[in-house]
Amino acid sequence: MSGYPSLSVPPESGFFRSRWVDPPSGIEFHDPSSLAVGFRAAGVSCGIQGSGATDLGAVICDADEVSSSILLTANAAAAAPVRVCRENLDQSGIRAVIVNSGNANASTGDQGILDALAMRDELASGLGLAADSVAVAETGVIGVPLQMETVLGGIPDLVSALAGHTASQGAARFSEAIMTTDKWPKRVSLSVDGITLSAQAKGAGMIEPGFATMLCFIQTDALVPEPVPVLRQAVDSSFERITVDGQMSTNDTVLLQATGTSGRELPPGLLDAVLLQLALEIVSDGEGASRVGRARVTGAADPEEAEMVARKIANSPLVKTALLGRDPNWGRIAQAAGHALAGQDIGELGPDVIEAEDIAGDGREADLTLRLDQGDAEAHVYFSDLTHEYIVINAEYTT
């Protein structure tokens, strides 16, 4: 409908395909259905999504000792599984995670909490783990009670599937189990410098409450003695830097599990590169997205202002439609920046301080840079274009 070719296709040229990602050298890629050493995963069809779709999955770490960190949405109306992970989980020793797709178990009240606890307890029991060492994540429709018979009925199959897999198998079906509107699975399995690392993500839109949410699970046998700041920093430069439609999900979850059995530390930059590429896959697979832009602001008075301006540009529907239209419309960038700093006076902004040239080309990625002269802070945000398909998905296919 847009008149532009759709570029929404799965990765065709290796995992680290974005110009903005700078992975360490020496990486060896593995079959993406494999996992880091010491982890198993599985996915089964329990019937939440219907039509035989894989909709219930789990990852388990075989090592007794695990170093973990979990980041949860800041949404003030967070879903039941997020509340359970906040309040009833040993966040530094997460052995396993159970995930379903098709129902977010959000806005489901006290029953939602009980249901999230029950599915977690059932998996913990089947695997012989302490209940508070199992995380739970859910994605799908908001406001519909979880079909507990369906979910609980699937857990024995899930436990059997986990037992049946050899170590380091099952990531493929687990990836399927966490997908909703995703057009392609987002996952990687690699080794470098004597460690192995695997990751699986889902998301196509920061939020689409008909389906929903960004989830990411990372497994490694590297030593990660300080998992909380390590994950926080990698997420700050990846999942916290993307926007599809400026919305924040009730269910977003990122989980890092590290066994340390390799005896080696994570190579510098590896986790950042993996999470940034996965984040960019999510933007690229954003609802209706055909292109990805990077809005970069330099010369801001302080980091907060740099961030505010970059976000206002990235979320401007005028900039997003200009990205679709191959229109290097610097006036829209100037207007968005002036809006972000409303009440201040930064003078008029002309084409001399705005670079938006590669927006006019047919490449999948485009850079927009605004140079302010207020200081030396900078920030950037990755965003998708706004297309007819976004409206079709969100206005016309709802029930």
**Chain residues that interact with a copy of itself, rule: CB under 8 A:** 1-3, 74-80, 106-109, 112, 141-143, 207-210, 245-250, 315-318, 321-322, 324-325, 327, 329-332, 334-351, 386-388, 390-391, 394-396, 398-399
- DSSP reduced 3-state for 375: coil
Task: Tell me how far apart the alpha carbons of residues 192 and 84 are, in angstroms, rounded to a whole number.
Answer: 35
State which residue, 197 or 282, has the beta carbon closest to a copy of itself.
Answer: 282
CB of 370 to a copy of itself, least distance (A): 10
Query: Smallest distance, Å, CB 382 to a copy of itself?
Result: 17
- Cβ closer to a copy of itself: 91 or 107? 107
Find the shortest distance in angstroms from Cβ 17 to a copy of itself. Answer: 25
Shortest Å distance, C-beta 173 to a copy of itself: 28
Burial class for 345, CB neighbours closer than 10 Å (0-12, 13-18, 19+): exposed
For residues 179 and 101, the answer to whether their CB atoms sit within 8 Å is yes
Q: How far apart are CA 231 and CA 160, in angstroms?
A: 31
Token output for 73: 């949405």
Question: Which residue, 48 or 61, is less far from a copy of itself as judged by CB?
Answer: 48
Minimum CB separation of residue 231 from a copy of itself in Å reads 18
Q: Pick the closer one to a copy of itself by CB: 147 or 329.
A: 329
Work out whether the CA dihedral 315, 250, 59, 272 comes out positive or negative: positive
Tokens, residue 238:
């990846």
CA–CA separation, 60 vs 127, rounded Å?
A: 9
Report the alpha-carbon distance of residue 248 to residue 212 in Å, rounded. 10
Provide, rounded to whole angstroms, the least separation between the CB of residue 112 and a copy of itself: 7
Q: How far is CA 312 from its chain centroid? A: 21
Chain centre distance of CA 104: 15
Residue 184 sits at φ, ψ, to 5 deg, of -145, 155
| Nearest CA among 92, 145, 141 for reference residue 119 | 145
Cα angle value 373/378/384 (rounded, 5°): 115
Q: Which of 54, 73, 180, 213 is catalytic?
A: 213
Closest CB 42 distance from a copy of itself, rounded Å: 30
Active site residue 213: yes
Whose Cβ is closer to a copy of itself: residue 50's or residue 143's? 143
Nearer to a copy of itself, 10 or 317 (CB): 317
H or E segment to which residue 189 belongs: strand 186-192
Which CB atom, from 80 or from 273, has the smaller least distance to a copy of itself?
A: 80
- Taking the C-alpha atoms of 163, 169, 173 and 177 in order, what is their torsion angle to the nearest 10 degrees? 70
Helix, strand, coil percentages in the chain from 3-state DSSP, rounded to 5? 35, 25, 45
114 contacts: CB under 8 Å, gap ≥ 6: none
Catalytic positions: 213
